Protein backbone atom coordinates (compact mmCIF):
# COMPACT_ATOMS: atom_id res chain seq x y z
CA UNK A 1 0.00 0.00 0.00
CA UNK A 2 2.77 2.39 0.91
CA UNK A 3 4.29 1.78 -2.48
CA UNK A 4 1.11 2.70 -4.38
CA UNK A 5 0.71 5.91 -2.44
CA UNK A 6 4.34 6.67 -3.09
CA UNK A 7 3.97 6.02 -6.83
CA UNK A 8 1.04 8.38 -7.24
CA UNK A 9 1.97 11.15 -4.82
CA UNK A 10 5.72 11.18 -4.25
CA UNK A 11 6.18 14.29 -6.36
CA UNK A 12 3.55 16.11 -4.32
CA UNK A 13 4.01 15.17 -0.68
CA UNK A 14 7.03 14.99 1.63
CA UNK A 15 8.17 11.64 2.99
CA UNK A 16 6.65 12.13 6.41
CA UNK A 17 3.21 12.91 5.03
CA UNK A 18 3.36 9.93 2.68
CA UNK A 19 4.02 7.78 5.73
CA UNK A 20 1.08 9.25 7.60
CA UNK A 21 -1.20 8.71 4.64
CA UNK A 22 -0.20 5.06 4.48
CA UNK A 23 -0.85 4.69 8.20
CA UNK A 24 -4.28 6.29 8.55
CA UNK A 25 -5.67 5.77 5.05
CA UNK A 26 -7.81 2.82 4.07
CA UNK A 27 -7.35 1.33 0.63
CA UNK A 28 -10.55 0.83 -1.36
CA UNK A 29 -11.10 -0.73 -4.76
CA UNK A 30 -14.02 -0.26 -7.11
CA UNK A 31 -15.02 -2.14 -10.21
CA UNK A 32 -15.99 -0.42 -13.46
CA UNK A 33 -19.30 1.44 -13.09
CA UNK A 34 -19.43 0.83 -9.36
CA UNK A 35 -20.89 3.69 -7.35
CA UNK A 36 -18.42 5.45 -5.06
CA UNK A 37 -20.44 8.33 -3.62
CA UNK A 38 -24.13 9.14 -3.98
CA UNK A 39 -25.84 12.53 -3.84
CA UNK A 40 -26.89 13.21 -0.28
CA UNK A 41 -24.35 10.80 1.24
CA UNK A 42 -22.70 12.00 4.39
CA UNK A 43 -19.01 12.43 3.68
CA UNK A 44 -16.69 11.02 6.32
CA UNK A 45 -13.49 10.53 4.39
CA UNK A 46 -11.60 12.13 1.61
CA UNK A 47 -10.45 10.03 -1.36
CA UNK A 48 -7.02 10.17 -2.99
CA UNK A 49 -6.95 8.49 -6.38
CA UNK A 50 -4.18 5.93 -6.78
CA UNK A 51 -5.17 4.43 -10.12
CA UNK A 52 -8.10 4.28 -12.49
CA UNK A 53 -10.57 7.02 -13.31
CA UNK A 54 -13.75 8.37 -11.71
CA UNK A 55 -16.60 10.21 -13.36
CA UNK A 56 -18.42 12.92 -11.44
CA UNK A 57 -22.12 13.39 -12.19
CA UNK A 58 -24.77 15.90 -11.23
CA UNK A 59 -28.47 15.09 -11.02
CA UNK A 60 -31.59 17.27 -10.92
CA UNK A 61 -34.90 16.68 -9.08
CA UNK A 62 -36.32 14.59 -11.92
CA UNK A 63 -33.33 12.25 -11.85
CA UNK A 64 -31.82 13.68 -15.03
CA UNK A 65 -28.07 13.25 -15.10
CA UNK A 66 -25.20 15.34 -16.36
CA UNK A 67 -21.55 14.32 -16.57
CA UNK A 68 -19.41 17.03 -15.00
CA UNK A 69 -15.83 15.81 -15.36
CA UNK A 70 -13.37 12.99 -14.76
CA UNK A 71 -10.79 12.47 -12.03
CA UNK A 72 -7.51 10.66 -12.62
CA UNK A 73 -4.56 9.31 -10.67
CA UNK A 74 -3.14 11.95 -8.36
CA UNK A 75 -6.45 13.81 -8.18
CA UNK A 76 -8.78 14.21 -5.31
CA UNK A 77 -12.41 15.21 -5.38
CA UNK A 78 -12.51 18.87 -4.39
CA UNK A 79 -16.26 18.55 -4.03
CA UNK A 80 -15.83 15.92 -1.38
CA UNK A 81 -13.03 17.94 0.15
CA UNK A 82 -15.39 20.85 0.28
CA UNK A 83 -18.06 18.73 1.91
CA UNK A 84 -15.59 17.40 4.47
CA UNK A 85 -14.60 20.85 5.58
CA UNK A 86 -18.13 22.14 5.59
CA UNK A 87 -19.51 18.94 7.11
CA UNK A 88 -22.22 18.95 4.44
CA UNK A 89 -23.66 16.17 2.30
CA UNK A 90 -22.39 15.25 -1.13
CA UNK A 91 -23.73 17.39 -3.97
CA UNK A 92 -22.57 14.96 -6.63
CA UNK A 93 -22.44 11.30 -7.60
CA UNK A 94 -19.11 9.60 -8.23
CA UNK A 95 -18.75 6.39 -10.21
CA UNK A 96 -15.74 4.36 -11.25
CA UNK A 97 -15.19 4.87 -14.98
CA UNK A 98 -12.48 2.22 -14.99
CA UNK A 99 -11.33 -0.17 -12.23
CA UNK A 100 -10.18 2.21 -9.54
CA UNK A 101 -8.01 2.15 -6.44
CA UNK A 102 -8.22 4.94 -3.94
CA UNK A 103 -7.13 5.63 -0.42
CA UNK A 104 -9.59 7.16 2.01
CA UNK A 105 -8.37 9.73 4.52
CA UNK A 106 -10.48 10.29 7.65
CA UNK A 107 -11.65 13.90 7.77
CA UNK A 108 -10.13 14.43 11.22
CA UNK A 109 -6.71 14.43 9.60
CA UNK A 110 -7.62 17.16 7.16
CA UNK A 111 -7.46 20.07 9.56
CA UNK A 112 -4.35 18.70 11.24
CA UNK A 113 -2.41 18.22 8.02
CA UNK A 114 -3.53 21.57 6.70
CA UNK A 115 -1.61 23.36 9.42
CA UNK A 116 1.21 20.81 9.66
CA UNK A 117 2.20 20.21 6.02
CA UNK A 118 2.77 22.92 3.46
CA UNK A 119 2.66 20.33 0.68
CA UNK A 120 -0.78 19.25 1.85
CA UNK A 121 -2.06 22.83 1.81
CA UNK A 122 -0.72 23.31 -1.70
CA UNK A 123 -2.27 20.05 -2.80
CA UNK A 124 -5.65 21.10 -1.46
CA UNK A 125 -5.42 24.52 -3.10
CA UNK A 126 -4.26 22.96 -6.33
CA UNK A 127 -7.20 20.55 -6.24
CA UNK A 128 -9.65 23.39 -5.82
CA UNK A 129 -7.99 25.22 -8.66
CA UNK A 130 -8.27 22.21 -10.98
CA UNK A 131 -11.87 21.61 -10.06
CA UNK A 132 -12.87 25.23 -10.66
CA UNK A 133 -11.18 25.04 -14.05
CA UNK A 134 -13.01 21.83 -14.89
CA UNK A 135 -16.30 23.39 -13.84
CA UNK A 136 -15.63 26.42 -16.03
CA UNK A 137 -14.89 24.10 -18.90
CA UNK A 138 -18.12 22.22 -18.27
CA UNK A 139 -20.05 25.49 -18.24
CA UNK A 140 -18.41 26.57 -21.50
CA UNK A 141 -19.39 23.28 -23.04
CA UNK A 142 -23.07 23.32 -22.14
CA UNK A 143 -23.50 27.09 -22.57
CA UNK A 144 -21.59 27.73 -25.78
CA UNK A 145 -21.55 24.48 -27.76
CA UNK A 146 -24.21 22.74 -29.85
CA UNK A 147 -25.04 19.08 -29.33
CA UNK A 148 -22.80 17.85 -32.15
CA UNK A 149 -19.77 19.69 -30.77
CA UNK A 150 -20.56 18.56 -27.23
CA UNK A 151 -20.86 14.98 -28.43
CA UNK A 152 -17.49 15.12 -30.13
CA UNK A 153 -15.91 16.56 -26.99
CA UNK A 154 -17.59 13.85 -24.94
CA UNK A 155 -16.12 11.13 -27.13
CA UNK A 156 -12.66 12.65 -27.10
CA UNK A 157 -12.67 13.05 -23.31
CA UNK A 158 -13.91 9.50 -22.88
CA UNK A 159 -11.28 8.13 -25.26
CA UNK A 160 -8.58 10.05 -23.43
CA UNK A 161 -9.58 8.95 -19.94
CA UNK A 162 -9.83 5.32 -21.05
CA UNK A 163 -6.60 5.59 -23.02
CA UNK A 164 -8.38 3.84 -25.84
CA UNK A 165 -9.86 5.13 -29.11
CA UNK A 166 -12.50 2.43 -28.92
CA UNK A 167 -15.04 3.89 -26.51
CA UNK A 168 -17.19 1.18 -24.90
CA UNK A 169 -20.54 2.85 -24.46
CA UNK A 170 -24.11 2.63 -25.75
CA UNK A 171 -26.03 5.52 -27.31
CA UNK A 172 -28.41 5.41 -24.36
CA UNK A 173 -25.53 5.77 -21.92
CA UNK A 174 -24.21 8.83 -23.77
CA UNK A 175 -27.70 10.33 -23.79
CA UNK A 176 -27.94 9.96 -20.00
CA UNK A 177 -24.59 11.55 -19.33
CA UNK A 178 -25.20 14.43 -21.74
CA UNK A 179 -28.75 14.94 -20.53
CA UNK A 180 -30.48 14.43 -23.87
CA UNK A 181 -32.31 11.57 -25.60
CA UNK A 182 -31.05 8.42 -27.28
CA UNK A 183 -32.57 9.32 -30.65
CA UNK A 184 -30.72 12.63 -30.70
CA UNK A 185 -27.42 10.90 -29.97
CA UNK A 186 -27.98 8.18 -32.59
CA UNK A 187 -28.80 10.87 -35.16
CA UNK A 188 -25.69 12.91 -34.45
CA UNK A 189 -23.42 9.86 -34.22
CA UNK A 190 -24.59 8.79 -37.67
CA UNK A 191 -23.69 12.21 -39.04
CA UNK A 192 -20.24 12.00 -37.48
CA UNK A 193 -19.78 8.54 -38.99
CA UNK A 194 -20.70 9.85 -42.46
CA UNK A 195 -18.10 12.58 -42.04
CA UNK A 196 -15.54 9.91 -41.19
CA UNK A 197 -14.87 11.22 -37.68
CA UNK A 198 -15.94 8.02 -35.97
CA UNK A 199 -16.89 4.43 -36.75
CA UNK A 200 -19.96 2.89 -35.13
CA UNK A 201 -20.26 -0.63 -33.74
CA UNK A 202 -22.73 -2.24 -31.40
CA UNK A 203 -21.79 -1.20 -27.82
CA UNK A 204 -18.75 0.76 -28.88
CA UNK A 205 -17.52 3.68 -30.94
CA UNK A 206 -14.17 4.03 -32.65
CA UNK A 207 -12.88 7.59 -32.48
CA UNK A 208 -10.89 8.15 -35.65
CA UNK A 209 -10.29 11.85 -36.07
CA UNK A 210 -8.74 13.09 -32.82
Number of neighbouring beta carbons within 10 Å of residue 195: 11
Quote the CA–CA distance of 5 and 21 in Å, as a whole number: 8
203 near DNA (CB under 7 A): yes
Quote the CA–CA distance of 186 and 192 in Å, as a whole number: 10
Q: Which of 11, 15, 42, 60 binds its own copies (CB under 8 A)?
A: 60
- Beta strands 204-207 and 198-201 are antiparallel
Give 207's strand partners: 198
In the complex, what is the shortest distance from the CB of residue 76 to its own copies, in angstroms, rounded to a whole number? 13
Which candidate, 67, 57, 39, places its Cα nearest to that of 178?
A: 67
189 near DNA (CB under 7 A): yes
- Please say which residue, 51 or 141, places its beta carbon nearer to DNA: 141
Q: Which residues bind DNA (CB under 7 A)?
A: 146-148, 170-172, 179-184, 186-187, 189-190, 200-204
- The residues of the shown chain that bind its own copies, judged by CB under 8 A, are 58, 60, 64, 66, 68, 78-79, 82, 85-86, 91-92, 114-115, 118, 121, 124-126, 128-129, 131-133, 135-136, 138-140, 142-144, 179
Amino acid sequence: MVQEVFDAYSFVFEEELLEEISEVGTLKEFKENERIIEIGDHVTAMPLLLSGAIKILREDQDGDELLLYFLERGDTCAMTLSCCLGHTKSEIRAMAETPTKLIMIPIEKMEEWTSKYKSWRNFVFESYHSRLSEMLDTIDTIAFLNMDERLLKYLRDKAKINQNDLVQVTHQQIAYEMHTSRVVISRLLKKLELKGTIALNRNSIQVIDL
